Structure 1
Amino acid sequence: MTTKLALVTGGNGFVGCHVVRALIARGDRVRVLARENADLSALVGLPVEIVRGDLRYFDSVDRAVNGCDEVYHVAADYRLWLTDPAPMYETNVGGTQHVIRAAANAGVSRIVHTSTVGALGIPHGGVGREDTPSSLAEMTGHYKRSKYMAEQAALEAARTGAPVVIVNPSTPIGALDLKPTPTGRIIVDFLNRRMPAYVETGLNIVDVEDVARGHLLAAERGRIGEKYILGGDNLTLREFLERLAMISGLPAPKMRIPYAVALGYALGAEAFARTVTRRAPRASLTEVRMARKRMFFDSSKARAELGYSPGPIEAALAAAIEFFRSKGTARSAA
């Protein structure tokens, strides 16, 4: 049997490196598109081909796609605070258009576009699904707006014949969260005793390895032009912190911060960041505004159509804690 060649854009990132591992475990050859000077430490020791390029430039994307059988477009500019949003739209929207056009021209059998549950609608007080109505006007912040626009571009490409399947991961956790992601930062702050209080919100938490396997299932069994939520457990932030406490042996914060207080803190933190540090603040307005809505989602469509079967998140939490402590990002256990 001929081994397939799969391209993973952003294969050096948190979700991408786990997609790479899942493909290798399946026996596929893997090519990774990564920017010049990108950190490749998540891929150390893996038998992958690295192609340097930039999603913003079609020619470099076209070269990376050449000869591939499948494309997993995982790369994205994921920042919740930024001084200039233009590069984010060029990467997330323009880059998606480049990947799909190059892959369709090359005749690949499947293009899996990694979107986010942030691009989906959530009914008031309810649980979001793939068909819950949403609009660009409802998207909070440039990241969500750009990912919503990218998802719309992927849907349009599917309608015109491109073999695109869309996955919407929720909030992945686990090892190899190098940057870390905003959720990884919550875990790091918890482990470093830098979280004396919390804002009440809700998240859908999932093991990043389950998300990676969901990508492969989407390529194999997903219907062209369809969206699939790759989620796990719906938890309030308090419940999430209590699970962290149980696994880490550290106490969970008891004090809940009122939304207005958190918003005021974020306003001040952003002003200080823009005028003094020029680095992302501890809390951004986008993060606080996103916290007003519980991000609860239903993965039953992916379970039914793809055979997606996420496990309990405790193993992923333990893997994240061990990773952050081993890298020195978080304090070791007392």
Structure 2
Amino acid sequence: MGQVAAVTGATGFLGGHLCERLLAEGWTVRGLCRPSSDRRLERPASRSSDLAEVAWYVGDCFDAATLSSLVDGADVVFHLAGVGLWSADPETVHRVNREGTENVLEACRDGDVGRVVFTSTAGTRRTNGSSEFADEDDIAEPIGAYQASKAAAERLLDDYAATGGDAVTVHPTSIVGPGDDSFTTQLLAMGLEPTMPATLPGGASIVGVSDVVDGLLAAAADGERGEHYILGGENLTYDQAASRIADYAGGTAAPVRVPATAIRAAGPVAEGVRAVTGRQVFPFDRRMAALATQRLFYSSQKANAELGYEYEPLESHLPETLAWYRDAET
């Protein structure tokens, strides 16, 4: 009998890809999902895939009985469940990301559980200016509710590891791949759509979803208890990424870059609308808007040295991602 994995966030973009890989490698997979969640993977029409072999546990991170059943007896608990500011208000983001993590760890303490692999975000790390690339030691002051909630959850994992539990935290950077209708669709549009008026200033560490799944499995197998690992990819400006996508796919990269001043100005506008009307028109404030104009570049040297983690160039992830993107448009 293969190893048993429990996966929260199993129907999400990264969670679905992780479950698919685990199943392919012979794991028994238990997945946490809400009653309304779609349990199919979004793939190009030429390659259908679903998660029918996952043993589904219907509930969420606030259902103690379901969590207990989900994790008990698992060799690895992959905790990926979370929400961002595009889909929830700041209070809900904190509740799900921080308190939900606390509930998962409580279930793990009470059950027979091997290792916990927690997926945080590279956003809790940021260079202090002494280097172009941030690493695991560059702990940053959180900007916005999402980063703050993830930083708080990381502290819970660190405490769990320091008090007898076995836990590792990974920090993916900006992930691209089929099924992601946020960052991936925006990035591809900058390189493919003739109607796209502009690229963005700044840049990101762009990593394929399959590489992040590799990193999750490596962290489960070889990570040091209590350690953190950045799972990044190529560090590219958005201009560079758009040009490479256009060159690969025969598209037309957006010809103009949005001025950083325009993005920074949107932060105060969003704050003002929220203060007057109580409505959130953009999920960021002035500090988050300023952050979006920076080159958020990262080093994965530690993950490479300790986990054997490697990443592929952007172009290697484009065939399946572009097929999915074009299917979604038709």
Do they superpose with TM above 0.5?
yes
May I ask how many residue pairs the two structures share in their alignment? 322
Deviation readout 1:50-76 (Å, 9 max, x if unpaired): 111111333332222133221000111
Q: Paired residue for 2:45?
A: none
Q: What residue identity is the alignment partner of 2:164?
A: G
> CA, structure 1 residues 265+166, in 2 after alignment: closer, same or farther (shift >3 Å)?
closer
Provide the residue aligned with 2:108 in structure 1. 103
Give runs of aligned pairs for residues 23-172 of structure 1, distance below 5 A.
Answer: 23-42=22-41, 44-80=50-86, 82=88, 84-124=89-129, 126-134=132-140, 138-172=141-175
Amino acid at match of 1:69: D
Quote the RMSD (CA, aligned, Å).
2.6
Aligned to 1:22: 21
Deviations, residues 184-238 of structure 1 (Å, cap 9, x unaligned): 3332465444531233112000110010111111010000000011111000111
Deviations for 1:62-117, whole angstroms, at most 9, x for unmatched residues?
222133221000111123474x3111111100111111221232121111000110
Counterpart secondary structure, 1:41:
coil
| One-letter amino acid of the counterpart of residue 185, structure 1 | Q
Whole-Å separation in 1 of the counterparts to 2:288 and 2:319: 25
- The structure-2 alpha-carbon separation of the partners of 1:81 and 1:295, relative to structure 1 and needing over 3 Å to count, comes to farther
- Determine if the alignment matches structure 1 residue 300 to structure 2 residue 306: no
- Native 8 Å contact 2:191 2:244 kept in 1: no
Most deviating of 69-78 and 257-266: 257-266
Partner secondary structure for residue 167 of structure 1 = strand
Aligned to 2:178: 175
Question: Could you tell me whether the CA contact under 8 Å between 1:200 and 1:257 is conserved in 2?
Answer: yes
Name the aligned partner's letter for residue 310 of structure 2: S
| Paired AA for residue 289 in structure 1 | A
Q: Distance in 2 between matches of 1:150 and 1:248?
A: 40
Q: 1:193-204 counterparts in 2 under 5 A?
A: 193-204=194-205
Q: Does structure 2 retain, via aligned residues, the 8 Å contact 1:81–1:284?
A: no
Contact 2:5 2:29 survives alignment (8 Å):
yes
Q: Distance in 2 between matches of 1:101 and 1:246?
A: 49
Unpaired segments ≥5 residues, structure 1: none
Q: How far off is 1:37 after superposition?
A: 0.6
8 Å CA contact 2:203–2:294 kept in 1: the answer is yes
Q: Is residue 176–residue 183 contact of structure 2 (8 Å, CA) maintained in 1?
A: no
Q: Percent identity?
A: 33
Q: Which amino acid aligns with 2:294?
A: K
Three-state SS of the structure 1 residue aligned to 2:128 is coil
Contact 1:188 1:324 in 2 (8 A): no
Is the 1:58–1:98 Cα contact (8 Å) retained in structure 2? yes
SS where residue 296 of structure 2 aligns? coil
What are the within-5 Å matches in structure 2 for residues 227-246 of structure 1? 227-246=228-247
